[in-house]
Structures are given as structure tokens and as C-alpha cells.
């Protein structure tokens, strides 16, 4: 950017630039034959933040955070297979389960040479990230949790009721059609971004417009519904993940949106109960808190990591 300073006798033009390392960069890493898209920013010599996205989004949800923190940290945000700009292989060529997605992202991180990092987990990022953390507890320096749930009390049973009906009775075409008609509709996707926000008119429409285009590709509904059904296996792993927290005690920053319709605040209280070093923050916003409180969250992350001498 340019900054101008003028005086009586002369004009001084000062040019300030953003370093190439600080700018967000985009690329692909091939993992087991599938191209995984990622965004990265910052100097790889700095402390690493791995940003794991939620549903129905992608690394796009971290676009501003990469800009905010790239001066002091190295940030990398991959898209899961079938999400964002990553490959969307057929079900015959890729198993769309949380176990397999976590394996893919774990391999992605290893191929990128990342073996020490903080994990930012939100929504789907929690079951992906917690699988990685329990597999490699020595690699996780801290957890940054934004409505990334690992406690049964952190599930809003009212909004989860249609999906829970699948868990209890098995996959059902009629119920799945009802879910698809609402959750995958343009209005349904918009609701996920705007519900619970202080000022819905400030939320970028590109979010749900992009998600709508991606989620209505051929085969996407079946894949996404399969992940909804597989989510029951995440709940079954909650005790294992809670045991990891109690045993390994990773320092945790909680930036929890209290108006989240899917993961209410009792989920944050679970982390606070099991961990000794917790920076607990409740935000007056909705599910995708970065859309409304991105600058605030970036500041919290910077203060949290600095206070714990993460380097």
C-alpha cells in the first residue's frame, strides 16, 4: 500500500509493501492421487497454525485470518476432498468418512513437512483435527477452538434432530430428501452464515453463493448426506478425544459463538472442565464467527500464543 506525507517545502512519498511471504499464496498438494487445494501465508520459519474448516465451507472461511496473522505466523488452510477447490473424486475412488478425510489431511501435513503446529478447529474441523491430535499428540502445541465440538452436551438436539434420526434408524431416502431440500438450498446455506449474527447485512454473500455452487455439483448431495450419517462415529469418539485432552493438556483458546444453532456453549464448557490452561471467550455472533468477529479473534490468537511463548 502507499502512504503519503506532505510538508511545506517538499512532499515525501513513503512506499510500504507487504512482503511476498506475508501475502496469501495458493497451491495444490497431491495426496494418494488426489489434489488437495490449500491457502498459505507467512514465513514457514514462524510458528505454524493449521486451519481446519467446517461445513459447508472451505479454506475460504479463513481468508481474512491469513491476512491478519501472516506477519508473525505461518498459516496453512487445506480444503478437504470434495470441498472447495480440492479434487472431488467419486465414491468409488475415495471413501468419504471422517476417518479417511483426517488421514488425508494428516498425510497432507506430513508431506508439507509440518510436524509442530497449533490446530484451529471449527465445526467439521473438530473431528478432523481431533483425530490428528490423538494420533500425534506431540505435534500439537495448542488448540484454537471456534465452535469445534467434542462433547455430547455441545450438540443442539433440536437442529440435529433430522440427522440424529438417520443415526437411530439408518439411512432413509425420505428424511435425506427433506434434509437436502433445506440444508443444501440457497436460503438454507445463507441461514447458516447469518443466523445469530449481530448484523446479518454485513456478512459477505459470497460465502453462501460459493457454497451453493459447489454443493450442487453432481454427486455432492449423496456425499454430504453420507458425511452427516458418518458423523455418528464422531460422537462415539468423544470419550477418546476427551481423554486426550485430560491426559495431554494442550493449552486452548476458546472463541465460542454463543448464538451457534448447532453447537451451543455447553460444548465450550466441556473444554474448560477438562483442560487446565484455557483462555475462554464467548462471542455474541453465529456459527461462522470469523465473518463478524475476525479481527477480534485474530487479536485473541496473537495474545494467546504470545502469552504461551509459542515459537
pLDDT tens by residue, 152-193: 999 999 999 999 999 999 999 999 999 999 999 999 999 999
- Per residue in 82-140, pLDDT (tens digit) is 999 999 999 999 999 999 999 999 999 999 999 999 999 999 999 999 999 999 999 99
Q: Does this model's pTM top 0.75?
A: yes
Q: Mean pLDDT across the stretch 256-282? A: 98
Whether residue 290 lies inside any domain: the answer is yes
Whether residue 151 lies inside any domain: the answer is yes
Whole-number pLDDT of residue 206: 98
Whether residue 4 lies inside any domain: the answer is no
When divided into structural domains, the chain yields a total of 1
Whole-number pLDDT of residue 18: 54
Whole-number pLDDT of residue 311: 83
Whole-number pLDDT of residue 21: 75
Domain that holds residue 116: 22-307
The set of catalytic residues is 287
Residue 144 burial (10 A CB sphere; 0-12, 13-18, 19+): buried
Whether residue 88 lies inside any domain: the answer is yes
Whether residue 45 lies inside any domain: the answer is yes
Q: What is the phi-psi region of residue 117: left when phi exceeds 0, alpha when psi lies from -120 to 50, beta otherwise?
A: beta
Reply yes or no on whether the pLDDT at 10 is more than 70: no
Domain holding 42: CATH number? 3.40.50.1820
Whether residue 6 lies inside any domain: the answer is no
- Per residue in 69-84, pLDDT (tens digit) is 999 999 999 999 999 9
- Per residue in 188-226, pLDDT (tens digit) is 999 999 999 999 999 999 999 999 999 999 999 999 999
Q: Mean pLDDT across the stretch 39-52? A: 98
Whether residue 271 lies inside any domain: the answer is yes
What is the pLDDT confidence band of residue 13, given thresholds at 50, 70 and 90? Answer: very low
Whether residue 11 lies inside any domain: the answer is no
Whole-number pLDDT of residue 19: 66
Amino acid at each position: 500500500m502507499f502512504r503519503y506525507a506532505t510538508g511545506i517545502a517538499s512532499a515525501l512519498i513513503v512506499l510500504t509493501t507487504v512482503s511476498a511471504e506475508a501475502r496469501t499464496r495458493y497451491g495444490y498438494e497431491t495426496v494418494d492421487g488426489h489434489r488437495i487445494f490449500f491457502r498459505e501465508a507467512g514465513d514457514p520459519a514462524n510458528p505454524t497454525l493449521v486451519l481446519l474448516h467446517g461445513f459447508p465451507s472451505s479454506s475460504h472461511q479463513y481468508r481474512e485470518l491469513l491476512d491478519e496473522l501472516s506477519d508473525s505466523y505461518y498459516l496453512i488452510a487445506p480444503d478437504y476432498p470434495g470441498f472447495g477447490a480440492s479434487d472431488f473424486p467419486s465414491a468409488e475412488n475415495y471413501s468419504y468418512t471422517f476417518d479417511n478425510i483426517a488421514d488425508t489431511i494428516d498425510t497432507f501435513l506430513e508431506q508439507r513437512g509440518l510436524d509442530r503446529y497449533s490446530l484451529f478447529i471449527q465445526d467439521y474441523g473438530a473431528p478432523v483435527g481431533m483425530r490428528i491430535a490423538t494420533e500425534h499428540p506431540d505435534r500439537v502445541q495448542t488448540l484454537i477452538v471456534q465452535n469445534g465440538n467434542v462433547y455430547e452436551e455441545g450438540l443442539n438436539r433440536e437442529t440435529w434432530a433430522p440427522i440424529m434420526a438417520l443415526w437411530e434408524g439408518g439411512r432413509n431416502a425420505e428424511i435425506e430428501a427433506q434434509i437436502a431440500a433445506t440444508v443444501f438450498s440457497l436460503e438454507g446455506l445463507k441461514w447458516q452464515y447469518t443466523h445469530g449474527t449481530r448484523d446479518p447485512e454485513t456478512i459477505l454473500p459470497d460465502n453462501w453463493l460459493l457454497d451453493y455452487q459447489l454443493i450442487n455439483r453432481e454427486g455432492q448431495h449423496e456425499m454430504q448426506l453420507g458425511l452427516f450419517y458418518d458423523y455418528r462415529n464422531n460422537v462415539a469418539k468423544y470419550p477418546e478425544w476427551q481423554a486426550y485432552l485430560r491426559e495431554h493438556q494442550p493449552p486452548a483458546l476458546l472463541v465460542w459463538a454463543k448464538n451457534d444453532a448447532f453447537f451451543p456453549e455447553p460444548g465450550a464448557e466441556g473444554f474448560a472442565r477438562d483442560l487446565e490452561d484455557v483462555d475462554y471467550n464467548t462471542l455474541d455472533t453465529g456459527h461462522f464467527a470469523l465473518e463478524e468477529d475476525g479481527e477480534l479473534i485474530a487479536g485473541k490468537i496473537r495474545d494467546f500464543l504470545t502469552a504461551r511463548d509459542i515459537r
